[in-house]
């Protein structure tokens, strides 16, 4: 993977064109003057985005670019777009199967730009996995698996972050009745190692603190409410500590997210999806960011879906998308600084 230039822009994918992704892209560009939105370019259909700017009453043109390097200079004057064409008309709120291939191509090109150093990071708009499965013969369960394949890694990790809290679910889209069987010592070790490395590289934390939750009420209460903490989770934590990773726990899930508890760690490794996501979304629903750790490039995304019910209405809330842009820029800068420091050592 080539190093990105210090001023390389962010690559923003199309997402599902039936959803709110295009509106989020346009709204974020409209906020460029406030100093918090870093330069980016969209891999999208120029006509579609131009129409959305008009619908949203956002003054400014779409500027077609040939290479990502042109985006930074263009960003103040117009919305930079590296053009991809949608083959079929796209009404809001209703996926069109013929357009699924362009959605996939947008992701592929964004990753290619990031891996070649033309883009500093990838920020993905929400997709509809079913629409891709039906319209593009998309063989992956979702975004994360596709990005891992494009990045050439066997395993990546999902992290959700908002101001004041970062969480990682060990098991993700697993039925609750299957969670206990899906928790393994190796899984905890592999996930925590990826998280530890990413926190050092992408968040500039030289000694990240990882709080590991229990699975059962009161973290099993000495085995009286379940043995997973004793048999699996605690031994994995001890193994991590033996490797020099600052891991603690297992902590009861109902007491590890209040203000004082959160001050004691940098990221929480939780046993299942809702154990991680409910506290984060309760604390700051509109500024949550989805991050994929363990990739050879930085990837962030807003922490919500396609919102078909809002598409075309102008009522989408761009805060999570803006936070995803800001976090992608900060992570890319931290990754570059870490690489420079390692090279100089």
Residues 333, 257 share a domain: no
pLDDT at 72: 95
pLDDT at 5: 66
Last residue of a domain, one of 286, 309, 334: 286
pLDDT at 136: 87
pLDDT at 293: 97
Residues 29, 126 share a domain: yes
Q: How many domains does the chain have?
A: 2
Please list the ranges in the chain whose pLDDT falls under 70: 1-2, 5-6, 345
Residues 1, 120 share a domain: yes
pLDDT at 342: 75
H/E run at residue 241: helix 234-242
Residues 175, 50 share a domain: no
What separation, in Å, do the N-terminal and C-terminal C-alpha atoms of the chain show?
21
pLDDT at 7: 85
Residues 275, 230 share a domain: yes
Residues 150, 172 share a domain: no
Residues 279, 220 share a domain: yes
Return the sign of the alpha-carbon dihedral for residues 192, 197, 200, 206: positive
pLDDT at 142: 82
Helices in 41-99 by DSSP H: which ranges? Answer: 46-55, 71-74
Q: CA–CA separation, 291 vs 289, rounded Å?
A: 6
H/E run at residue 326: helix 319-344
Looking up residue 250, the CATH number of its domain turns out to be 3.40.718.10
Residues 228, 173 share a domain: yes
Residues 150, 9 share a domain: yes
From the list 182, 147, 104, 125, the residue with the least C-alpha distance to 10 is 125
Last residue of a domain, one of 244, 265, 286: 286
Residues 126, 218 share a domain: no
The full DSSP string for 147-178 is: HHHHHT-S--EEEEEETTEEEEESS-S--GGG
Residues 310, 169 share a domain: no
The pLDDT tens digits for 162-217 are 999 999 999 998 999 999 999 999 999 999 999 999 999 999 999 999 999 999 99
3-state secondary structure of 42: strand
pLDDT at 33: 80
Which structural domain range is residue 196 located in? 157-286
Residues 4, 144 share a domain: yes
pLDDT at 42: 98
Q: What is the pTM of this model?
A: 0.94
Last residue of a domain, one of 254, 286, 318: 286
Locate tokens 């993700």: which residue?
Answer: 172
What proportion of the chain, given as a percentage, has pLDDT over 70?
98
pLDDT at 1: 62
pLDDT at 166: 98
């Amino acid at each position: 993977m080539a190093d990105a230039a210090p001023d390389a822009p962010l690559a923003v994918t199309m997402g599902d064109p039936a959803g709110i992704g295009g509106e989020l892209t346009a709204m974020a560009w409209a906020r460029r003057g406030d100093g918090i939105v870093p330069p980016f370019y969209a891999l999208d259909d120029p006509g579609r985005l131009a129409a959305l700017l008009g619908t949203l009453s956002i003054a400014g043109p779409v500027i077609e670019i040939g290479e990502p390097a042109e985006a930074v200079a263009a960003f103040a004057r117009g919305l930079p777009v590296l053009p991809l064409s949608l083959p079929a008309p796209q009404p809001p709120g209703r996926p069109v199967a013929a357009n699924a291939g362009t959605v996939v191509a947008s992701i592929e090109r964004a990753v290619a730009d990031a891996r070649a150093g033309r883009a500093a990071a990838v920020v993905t708009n929400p997709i509809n996995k079913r629409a891709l499965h039906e319209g593009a013969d998309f063989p992956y369960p979702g975004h994360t698996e596709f990005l891992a394949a494009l990045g050439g890694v066997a395993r990546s990790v999902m992290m959700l972050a908002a101001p004041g809290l970062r969480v990682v679910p060990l098991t993700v889209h697993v039925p609750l009745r299957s969670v206990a069987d899906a928790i393994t010592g190796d899984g905890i070790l592999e996930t925590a190692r990826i998280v530890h490395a990413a926190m050092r590289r992408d968040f500039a934390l030289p000694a990240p603190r990882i709080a590991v939750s229990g699975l059962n009420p009161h973290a099993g209460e000495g085995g009286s409410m379940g043995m997973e903490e004793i048999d699996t989770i605690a031994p994995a934590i001890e193994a991590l500590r033996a490797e020099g990773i600052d891991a603690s726990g297992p902590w009861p899930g109902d007491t590890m997210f209040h203000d004082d508890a959160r001050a004691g760690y940098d990221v929480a490794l939780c046993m299942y999806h809702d154990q991680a996501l409910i506290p984060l979304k309760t604390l700051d629903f509109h500024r949550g960011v989805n991050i994929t750790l363990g990739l050879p490039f930085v990837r962030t995304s807003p922490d919500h879906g396609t919102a078909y019910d809002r598409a075309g209405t102008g009522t989408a809330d761009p805060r999570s998308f803006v936070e995803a842009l800001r976090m992608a820029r900060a992570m890319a800068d931290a990754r570059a600084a870490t690489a420079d420091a390692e090279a100089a050592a």
